[in-house]
């Protein structure tokens, strides 16, 4: 039996790295005052059709949609925003005192794509949404949390690219200009772009097939169509970013996948040498109208999603070792079969005090147990033999320094805790 294409197992050694990045993200969210939301992994298909947009690649090609036994159309979530906004409306979070509503999530997403490096069919995102505020400072907060995250992981060569898609009015004018720009030569573009031309011409700029077409580079820039309000909003976001020392590049061709995006949008890439160019780690932006689409009041939102697998790839390429916790505090070695009972008792006592403890369960001889302890990086070992049991005292061996001390049985837990604590302080 093998895995379905585009999925993977995460084994313990790898999972330890996931714990690190998830903890950094969750701690940051706490610092920035975002609370966790956990939404279902599947939703009604309609949620994504309406929430992600029916001209997007996600909805037109990538969704895992099936009929359940009750005849409902169900889709495995391809992204997080639609579910978060649905929950926001369903639980009337717009009515709570605490505004804006700041939520983060993490978990698997599903897209039917051609699997390749950094592109799976089941992948994991960490993301967040701030809903209910139209303040450029919140755009800056969201971007800065993501940038801080990469900095805390120690990822070098990170680039922030931003753009503004303006408001409805600005986009309407830009849309007309885009249609006029592409219409005469639309035959040179892919079939999807033909559909996009009148439905949502902005998306032509985001086409993966045609992104090298010269007309994309010469397309009218949204920045030339921003009205005064949109322009000053964007200026303010940039000013705040500069004020907190976050550098960025403005790219007027940057548009985000989802249909509801307006004003600020951004991507954060890893531009690590040797990765064959660059890789988008994080994408996000501001959206208006989504809350209303789902039956709530008018409430603007902004958020991002970042791909955990891609972050781990970027860390690996940059040769950054994450501080994974693989410490084994103490390995209990039994010198003869009669010592087993005592070993089980001591292990239980150790673990009650959260001393990370291990023993042999494979009937290994003394020497092989020592080897096992070394392989597992045991900080201390305790050897249990007949003499030790009779004298109720054990040799506690420091596996790093080699030092060995005799400790009375009733002092063993205390002594170990004390030595481990002393180490923590160093």
Residue 258: CB minimum distance to ligand ATP, A: 7
Q: Are 130 and 301 in contact (CB under 8 A)?
A: yes
DSSP conformational letter for 3? P
Is 301 one of the binding residues for ligand ATP (CB under 6 A)? no
Strand (E) or helix (H) holding 230: helix 228-243
Between residues 300 and 307, which has the closer beta carbon with respect to ligand ATP?
307
CB atoms within 10 A of CB 85: 28
CA 155/CA 20 separation, integer angstroms: 14
**Considering only residues 242-261, where is the footprint of ligand ATP by CB under 6 A?**
257
Between residues 245 and 276, which has the closer beta carbon with respect to ligand ATP?
276
CA distances from 118 to 121, 235, 281 (A): 10, 34, 9
Stretch that binds ligand ATP, among 133-141, 144-152, 173-181, 278-286 (CB under 6 A): 278-286
List the one residue from 307, 318, 350, 359 that touches ligand ATP (CB under 6 A): 307
Between residues 82 and 241, which has the closer beta carbon with respect to ligand ATP?
82
Stretch that binds ligand ATP, among 176-184, 196-204, 274-282, 368-376 (CB under 6 A): 274-282
Is 397 one of the binding residues for ligand ATP (CB under 6 A)? no
Between residues 124 and 334, which has the closer beta carbon with respect to ligand ATP?
124
**Greatest pairwise CA separation for the chain in angstroms:** 95
Paired tokens of 322: 């994450």
Is 305 one of the binding residues for ligand ATP (CB under 6 A)? yes
Binding mask 109-128 for ligand ATP (x = CB under 6 A): --x-x----xxx--x-x---
Count of residues near ligand ATP by CB under 6 A: 18
List the one residue from 281, 315, 330, 332 that touches ligand ATP (CB under 6 A): 281
Residue 67: CB minimum distance to ligand ATP, A: 24
Between residues 201 and 307, which has the closer beta carbon with respect to ligand ATP?
307
Binding mask 193-232 for ligand ATP (x = CB under 6 A): ----------------------------------------
Paired tokens of 96: 């709570």
Q: Which residue is nearest to ligand ATP (CB)?
A: 307
Q: What is the DSSP string of 312-333?
A: HHHHHHTTPPP-----EEEEEE
CA 109/CA 82 separation, integer angstroms: 12
Stretch that binds ligand ATP, among 26-34, 215-223, 242-250, 299-307 (CB under 6 A): 299-307
Dihedral sign, Cα of residue 272, residue 108, residue 53, residue 297: negative
What strands, in cross-sheet order, belong to the sheet with 158-164? 35-36, 101-110, 122-131, 301-307, 279-287, 261-270, 158-164, 249-250
Between residues 75 and 120, which has the closer beta carbon with respect to ligand ATP?
120
Binding mask 52-81 for ligand ATP (x = CB under 6 A): ---------------------------x--
Stretch that binds ligand ATP, among 140-148, 196-204, 301-309, 383-391 (CB under 6 A): 301-309
Residue 332: CB minimum distance to ligand ATP, A: 43
CA 246/CA 231 separation, integer angstroms: 20
CA 168/CA 402 separation, integer angstroms: 71
Cβ neighbours of residue 57 closer than 8 Å, sequence gap 6 or more: 192, 208, 257
Is 364 one of the binding residues for ligand ATP (CB under 6 A)? no
Q: For 412-421, which contacts have Cβ atoms below 8 Å and span 24 or more sequence positions?
A: 412/346, 412/349, 412/382, 413/349, 413/350, 413/353, 413/355, 416/329, 416/330, 416/350, 416/355, 416/380, 417/353, 417/355, 419/380, 420/329, 420/355, 420/379
Between residues 63 and 346, which has the closer beta carbon with respect to ligand ATP?
63
Paired tokens of 263: 């004003």
**Considering only residues 335-354, where is the footprint of ligand ATP by CB under 6 A?**
none
Between residues 296 and 307, which has the closer beta carbon with respect to ligand ATP?
307
Between residues 308 and 416, which has the closer beta carbon with respect to ligand ATP?
308
Q: Are 48 and 58 in contact (CB under 8 A)?
A: yes
Between residues 120 and 140, which has the closer beta carbon with respect to ligand ATP?
120
Residue 145: CB minimum distance to ligand ATP, A: 15
Between residues 253 and 280, which has the closer beta carbon with respect to ligand ATP?
280
> For residue 71, what are the β-bridge partners?
none
The contact set with ligand ATP (CB under 6 A) reads 79, 111, 113, 118-120, 123, 125, 257, 280-283, 305-307, 309-310
């Amino acid at each position: 039996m093998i895995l379905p294409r585009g999925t993977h197992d995460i084994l313990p050694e790898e999972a330890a790295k996931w714990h690190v990045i998830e903890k950094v993200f969750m701690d940051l969210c706490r610092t920035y005052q975002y609370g966790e939301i956990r939404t279902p992994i599947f939703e009604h298909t309609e949620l994504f059709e309406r929430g992600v947009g029916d001209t997007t690649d996600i909805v037109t090609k990538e969704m895992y949609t099936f009929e359940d036994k009750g005849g409902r159309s169900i889709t495995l979530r391809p992204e997080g925003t639609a579910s978060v906004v649905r929950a926001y409306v369903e639980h009337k979070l717009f009515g709570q005192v605490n505004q804006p509503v700041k939520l983060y999530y993490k978990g698997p997403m599903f897209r039917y794509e051609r699997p390749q490096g950094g592109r799976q069919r089941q992948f994991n995102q960490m993301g967040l949404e701030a809903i209910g505020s139209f303040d450029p400072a919140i755009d800056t907060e969201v971007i800065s949390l993501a940038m801080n995250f990469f900095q805390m992981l120690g990822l070098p060569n990170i680039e922030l690219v931003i753009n503004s898609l303006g408001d409805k009015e600005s986009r309407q004018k830009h849309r007309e200009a885009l249609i006029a720009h592409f219409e005469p030569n639309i035959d040179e573009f892919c079939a999807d772009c033909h559909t996009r031309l009148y439905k949502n011409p902005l998306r032509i700029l985001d086409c993966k097939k045609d992104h090298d077409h010269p007309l994309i580079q010469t397309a009218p820039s949204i920045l030339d169509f921003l009205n005064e309000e949109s322009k000053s909003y964007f200026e303010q976001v940039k000013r705040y970013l500069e004020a907190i020392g976050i550098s960025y590049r403005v790219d007027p061709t940057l548009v985000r996948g989802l249909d509801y995006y307006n004003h600020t949008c951004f991507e954060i890439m890893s531009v690590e040498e040797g990765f064959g160019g660059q890789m988008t780690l994080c994408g996000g932006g501001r959206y208006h109208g989504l809350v209303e689409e789902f039956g709530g009041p008018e409430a603007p939102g902004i958020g991002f999603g970042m791909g955990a697998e891609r972050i781990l790839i970027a860390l690996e390429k940059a040769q950054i070792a994450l501080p994974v916790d693989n410490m084994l505090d103490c390995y209990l070695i039994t010198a003869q079969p009669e010592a087993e009972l005592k070993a089980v008792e001591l292990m239980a006592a150790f673990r009650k005090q959260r001393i990370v403890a291990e023993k042999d369960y494979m009937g290994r001889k003394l020497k092989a147990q020592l080897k096992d302890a070394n392989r597992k990086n045991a900080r201390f070992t305790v050897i249990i033999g007949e003499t030790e049991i009779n004298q109720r005292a054990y040799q506690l061996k420091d596996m790093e320094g080699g030092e060995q001390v005799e400790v009375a049985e009733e002092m063993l837990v205390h002594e170990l805790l004390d030595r481990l604590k002393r180490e923590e302080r160093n």
